[in-house]
Structures are given as C-alpha cells and as structure tokens.
Structure 1
Amino acid sequence: MPEIVKPTITYTGINQQIPYDDPDATILETSISNQIPHLHECGGNGQCTTCRIRVIDGHSNLSQRTFKEIETARARKWDPSIRLACQTYAKGDVSIERLVWTSAEINKLQLETIPEGSAEERRIAILFCDIRNFTKMALNNNTFDVAHILNRFYTVIGDPILYNNGIIYQYVGDEIVGLFGVSGGMREKNCADAIRAALGMYYAIERLNRMELVDFDLTIRTGIGINFGKAYIGKLGHPKHKQLAVVGDPVNTASRIQDYNKTAGTNILISDSVYRALPDGFLDIGKTFEVQLSGRDENTKLFEVKGFLEQDIQFQLQSSLDYLLRNEEEFAAEFYDRVFEISPETRTLFKKNMKDQGRLLTHMLGAIVYSLSRPENLKLGLRFLGESHSRYGVTEAHYPVVLQALMATIENKLGEFSSPELLSAWRTALSMITDEMRQFSK
C-alpha cells in the first residue's frame, strides 16, 4: 500500500516548511501547534484580520472563502491571494506569507477603512508631540548623532501611540502626530487612549534621558497637546501617489494646544472636548487655562494632565513591556527554568524546540498587552489560547505555576524599575488572563 503523502505548508517569510497533518485544523491552528508565531487577536473567530496571509502558491489547494472572509475581503478590497488563516483549510501543498508580523502593525490596518480619492468626516482624538530643544540639540551634536537621537525619540514616543490603538499620522521635523479613533469607537475610549499614549510618551522620554542620552549631555523635553473633534479623513493626492490626509479645525487646534505648553510651562495639555469625554475621577488635573489660541475667535479651555488618579493597569503594563522584553530569549529561558523548578513534571509538556517555544511565549505576552486597547477581541483571543493549551495537555493545575513563574521573572527583569504598584498591575492583569484561559482547561 503506497504511503500517504501529507500536504505541507511553506512559510516563505521565514523559509520554514511544516506538515499539514490535521485536515480539521485551520492554517492558523497549524501555525500555533508548530510554534510559529501567528497573530490572531480575536482568537481565530474572523472578527479581526490580524491572521491574514498572502497565498504565494497553491491557491487551488485551499478551501473556499467563508462568508466572513467574503465580507471582509469586499470591505477591505483584498485581491484573491489574501486570506484569513483562521478561516482557511489546506488540502494540498501551499506556500504562504504572514502579512502582519508584529502587534505594532495592527494599527495600520485601520487605514484600510479610509476612503480613496475622497474624504469623510470622522470623530477622532488628535495628539501632537513636539521636541522642545531640537534646534539646540541639532547644533550641539553631529549629524549622525542627531539621526540616532531622533530615531530613538520616535521609537519611544511612537510605541505608546501604537499600544493604544492609535496610528502615527506623520512626522514633521521634530514633531509626531497620532490619531485615535480613525476606524470608529466611542469618544470616551478614543480620548482615554490618547491620554494614556501621552503619559506613556512622557515617561518614556524620562527613561530615555536617564538611560541613553547621558553620554550626549542632553535632556529632551516635550510638549503634548490633545484635542477631540470632527475632521475629514481620506487618501488624497496625485492618482499615483495618494497619502493619508486629515484636515479640519480640530487638527489645527490640537497643534496650537501643544504649542501653548511653552507659555504655560506644562508638559501635557488637553482641550475641554477631551476633558468632558472622560468620567470624573479619571485624571489628575493640574492647572487650568482659558486662552484665545491663534486663529480662533473664542476662548479655549485647557487642562494640564499630570497622571491618573487611580492605577491604570494598561498604562503600567505598556510602560514596562519594552523594558521587560528587551532580551526576549533571556526572559523566556528564565521563565521556563522557573516553571520546571516549581513543577518538574511540566517538562513532559514541551516536546519541541524550547527556543521556538520561548519565542511563542514572548510573542503571546506582547500581543496580549497590545490587545488590551481592543478589549472586544481580547476575551476571544484568551479563549483560543486556553483551548489550544488544553489540547497540548495543560490543565487547570498548571496555571498557578505559570502565574508564579511569570511574576518572579517579571520582578527580576524589572530590576531597579520594579515597584509595588507596577508589580500589582502585572499580577492583576496576569491573574485575569490566566483565570480566563483556565476556564477552557480539561
């Protein structure tokens, strides 16, 4: 009897080939079971598009698009080669490419909802952030150093925008502009996301000054302004070179609010439209101002933001994730060493390459922190993870071990940045995550 040859899936981006040995598994499930990081924010339910793939070869060896896929492809104007891995099954050899590699790229997917060649009115929060002493910095350092500093600056202030479901609209010299709510959402959430991003920027710059810029004898200062209102958004320009354009008075006002920080001696200012969108007791407000901004006839009320009045778990996790995972391999190795020390019998659950397993762990941890800003997907994603782990032999008794090992690793990796408040935030979040996942244990 001839040997049955199993289909294979080739991942072109990483030049890896794996057997497709379970006809009841989607391509997404096959990726995960073979320790290939594959984003799936909604847990493989076809409600997001983060697991999308491009089919390089073997189109005819895939299942037909489901109704969810057809609707998504039509709305986002996909060509036939793009599929949702969570909705697709293979029946023969296929070569694919994952299209969303990191959680930071998820925010760009909002741009697919922007109209081509026209603009439509949308309610958004707009954030402007400016380097205060850029001219002096450019004069006192050579060109290569300035480029290095700017790249680090844009990285540490760009991450908080991406963590909070925002998109980076543009860089203008020493300024960065973030938009929140481009694809919709409630006013309160969009404004809260923008403020969380602003505070994340402020503390990231403080850390940058302390850790990386001391050799340049330089201290960066920023001013941040946030406004909320209706702006026109579209992809406009030459037919062969259309770009995202955001036009309207709320955008201009946000820029002027940012600039007013210089006069006020503040770091973060928000407009009354942002302040009124948020519940009482949410923000620690400092000074208030009523000023006539340039180009406006009426006065604008501004509020200085100093922080949150109560612990904001999202903010705490976001502000420490990059530091925790600055060496992902070390983090994963320490975590698994702790797991095996606490519970030696768990070694039998790990039959494949531990380096790949570690990469999957840090990928999953980062994805969860990013998805906190999209709670509609988070619960579905955790259910998928719980069910997947159950199939691999993880039981309810393993979750306390995981929580203990994770917390010990996090505390050690945080080092001097560790604090009771930060550890409490991580414990609260990880307890919620593990409790949600363990519901689907055997």
Structure 2
Amino acid sequence: MLKENIKRLALGILAFVSAISIGVASADNVRSYGTDLSKYQGNTAQFVRNDDEFTIAQVGGMYEDGSSYTQSTYTNQVKSALMQNKRAHTYIWLQTGNNSYLAKKAVNTFLPTINSTVPKGSIIALDCEAGYGNDINGNTNAVLDAMTTVKNAGYTPVFYSYQGYAHAHFDMNRIIATYPNSFWIAGYPYRNGIYPAPMEYFPSDNGVCIWQFSDHGSGANSVALDYDIDLLGITKNGYKNGNANKPVTTTPVIQEAKEDKKVINDTKTYTVKSGDTLSSIATRFNTTYQDLARLNNIASPYVIYPNQVIKIKGDNTVANNTSNSATTYVVKSGDTLSGIANKFGTSYQSLASLNGISNPNYIYVGERLKVKGYVSTRAYKVTYGDTLSGISNKLGVSVSYLAQKNGINNANLIFVGETLNY
C-alpha cells in the first residue's frame, strides 16, 4: 500500500486503545499477526515471523476514470500462503471517488478471480487511501455500495485507510454503523516492524478490526512488508475455526494448494516440462529458484531443459555450530565474505582460498561455501526497546560488527525476539 509520510500518525495524537474502540480485542487469544501483499513482494507469500497466521493479497485496483489493473501475483500469493498454512484474504485498490457505479464495478470486475481463488466468507478489503475529493457524503455512499456488493457476493467487507484520511473524506460513523468492526486502520508509530505491536501507540478509533502498524516488517531476502495485527479475529472468517487448512468452501486455487502440498510431501524430484522455468518450478513447490539452483548445482543464467530431473528436496544442512571440520554454508541475501568469515571464526582470505574465489567482493545468494572453524555460540536476544547501538554498548562490540556478523543491512531495523550472534 502507499508509503506516504502523511500516513504515519504523529505520536502525540496516538492514544492507548480503549475498550469501546476494539470491543473484545483485549483477549489476547483472538489476536493474530499477518502481512498484506502486492506485486512488490513477488509470487511467494511473505511473512515477518514463522507464527504469523494470515496475509491479505492485492487482486488489483480501479481508478476514478474507470481504468483498472490486475496483480499477476495474486493467485500465486494466495496459493503460497495456503501452502504455508496461513489464512489468505483479498484487497482491492479503490480509487473511484464518489462514483457508486465505479465502486461497485471495481468489486464486480475482480469477483471472478476472487471466486476462483479464496474461500467464501473471507475478507475483501477496499483500500481507500487516495483519489477522494471533498464530497464526504458521496464518497461514503460509494464505499458503502461497494462493501454491500462484497457482502452480497458472500465475503466479509472491510474498509482500509489511515485515520486522518478516513475522517477527512468519509463519514466513518455511517460506515461503522452499517458494517460494525470493519475498519482496517493504518498508522505507523515506528518505521521498523517491531513485534509485538506497540499497543500503547494504537490509533484509537471506533470499529477497528485490524491495525497495520508497520510498513517495514522484514520478509525473505529483506523484502519490506506491511505488518498487521488482527484485533478481533476477523481474519479467521472463511476458515473453519480459523484453521487455514479448513476453508469453508473450496476453489481451484485452494485445491491446487492442497495437491501441491501433497506433492511436496511425497516428491523429492520433478521432471522438467516444456515451458518450465526454475522460478515457476520453485513457485509450484513453495521454494525459491536460488534454493533449487543450489540443490541441483545449476549456475546462472539457470538454464534447464525438458525431461531434466530436478531435485526438490535434499540435504539443506549448513554449518554445525560446534564443528571445526570443513563443512558448508549457504550464502543468504546480505551476506559478505568477511561477514561469513566472522561467523566461523576465520578470515575472508581463508574462505576465498578454500573456495577458489578470485574476487572476495563477489558471492551470490544460494552459493555453497566450504568453511572451517567454530561458530560463535554467544548470542543476545533482542528485547523491547533495544537498539543495535545500545546492544553493541552492552556487549562491548561495534554496531558495524553486529550488523556484519548477523547480515543486517539496516542498523535501525531489528526485531523483538531476534537472536543476534556476537
């Protein structure tokens, strides 16, 4: 979603959540964390933490002139989320102003795709954060008509915006009166994806069901993610008892996800077919093309051939933390040769020599490096309020050392519960 500065709420106007604002949300057992995705996160559903429970993927959008666009990543993101045992939902970018006809048309345009992808009862959120004028009554009528179209189609309507924009352009009292607890609110007290959500900065408002509290959670390969907390359990809609493996209805995409999960569990190899790419195979098996390339010793530009047998599963073992014998390490995004050397108590020159690397500044993600030496077993667990500079002072090491040793690209972005080696 948009990453405008105005979207981050000033801390001075943020208040701690009141019981009237989120109703039963004070019960921790109904709360869950998840992400929302667009094409910028790629085909594979991304999450900040392993125990995140849901994602909301963009199917497309419509503008005030009636033009629309689709997100080619939508069905793959939903399928990938389901394969990871996460609940999947939908959002539409709705920039149709006070035009009720276009607002309803936007929903109807994407319903065929949604109907074949996610279960009935799941969320269809309307992302209304730009393109609305001063006609508050007209804007509200249009959005309510769109939400009613969502409801009549058998889904859960949700309204998304950030607090200031919502109250400046819509009659939020009418929206919440018509669809109680349907406000997905955006407000970022911090730039990073801190966990848990900093509820002392909750942007208190009526009818809030989900709070998007960060636009800088970190996914695979440091992909920036919107991070959300479901306060009322609304993301369980469409899934029996909130179980991602038990959608209330089935769709072709849901069925594909089930079949592919079974294939992954049962299959260790795949025979390449005409038209396959390493990336498309990776998406099918819920992995990455880098992992497949590493597992099958396929070098860039990753050419594969029909009838070639690709290993899907294999020994993904990396360096043992107590071994001083030669073993292997798989390069991750953000790694440097010197950073890897620090992890294993050796020098980048030794690693370069051991692996025949002529240019120590050039290593690539997925590359397997032979390493020697002990891995440091000293570790520090990040707690609420920690900063990398504060931790470095506690441990008597430099910020750059901690960042390099732990593959941290942004020294201002660490997460509660994260383990840092030093």
What interval of TM-score do these two structures reach, taking the shorter chain for normalisation? under 0.3
Relative to its length, the structure with more helix (as a share) is 1
Please give the TM-score of this superposition, normalised by the length of structure 1: 0.24
Q: TM-score, normalised by structure 2?
A: 0.25
